Structures are given as structure tokens and as C-alpha cells.
Amino acid sequence: MTSSPPDSRGLTPAQLESFHRDGYLIIPDALPPSTVSSLLAETARLLDEELDLATHPLTRFKTGGESGRDHVGDDYFLGSGDKIRFFLEEDAFDAATGLVTKPKERAVNKIGQLLAAHAAVLPDDPAAARHEPAQHGLPDEPA
């Protein structure tokens, strides 16, 4: 299979088609292994040092549901714009008790919002700049 050249946004037509079809895009070797290792280590550190399920408000991350309206809206989420916050999987909880039943490494859906400012998440890496056109080439939502 011959790949088409990237368009002006840094993505090939096949990549855009894949994104629209699947709702996500996998870019093999997008980051060097050393960066991936650093990201995984920082994630492990954040989970170990920053997430305490005993004091966490147990905010569940919802992506919109069928209507697109069902989304997180509590104070923990709404106040997260300038902080690192942890949002949990909906299925990480026991339906009867409401208690988290998974280890925190498996309970977290998302870590956000301001990781770049508060954590050593992305080291200075030319690879990150290399993907900026692709990042901006994706629409806000898949078709």
C-alpha cells in the first residue's frame, strides 16, 4: 500500500480517514522509546505520590454518552483547569457500595488538566514539535 503525502496539516489522507472511521489515530513511533519511558515513569510517580483514593472525591470521567450532554460537572472537574487532577473509570466502582474496586493504576481514566506546567511530563524533545502539525490537523471530533 502506497501512502499519500501528508496534507498541509501534517496528516495523510489515510490517517484522516482512519481518524474519522475509528475516532482515534495511532501514529506508530510517534515518540522515541526514551520519551515513552519518561512519560510512563512520571505517570507512575503521579499515581503513587499525588493520588490518594481515601481523600479523592471519586470523580468519574464521562465522555458524553449517547446525547453528548452527560459529562463530568462537579467542582473537582470544573476547578481542574490549572491543576493536576485524576478522573476515574466509571466501571472502577462497586455498583452496590460505590467503593473503588480496582487498583488506582487501573481505576484512572484520565489525568489532567495542566500537566505540562506542573509535572515533568514531556521532556524537551524535538519529536513533540514534529507532531504539532498533526495535532492541529485533527478536527475536534471524528465525523
pLDDT tens column, 36-62: 898 889 889 999 999 999 999 888 877
Alpha carbon 36 to its chain's center: 14
Q: How confident is the model at residue 75 (pLDDT cuts 50, 70, 90)?
A: confident
Please tell me which residue, 1 or 85, carries the higher pLDDT value.
85
Q: How confident is the model at residue 137 (pLDDT cuts 50, 70, 90)?
A: low
The grid coordinates of residue 129 equal 514539535
Whether this model's pTM surpasses 0.85: no
Q: Select from 94, 126, 118, 121 the least CA-distant residue to 107.
A: 94
Rounded Cα–Cα distance for residues 105 and 45 (Å): 11
Compute the Cα dihedral for 14, 18, 19, 20 and give only its sign.
Answer: positive
Q: What is the mean pLDDT of the segment spanning 93-122?
A: 83
- What are the backbone angles phi and psi of residue 116, rounded to the nearest 5°? -60, -30
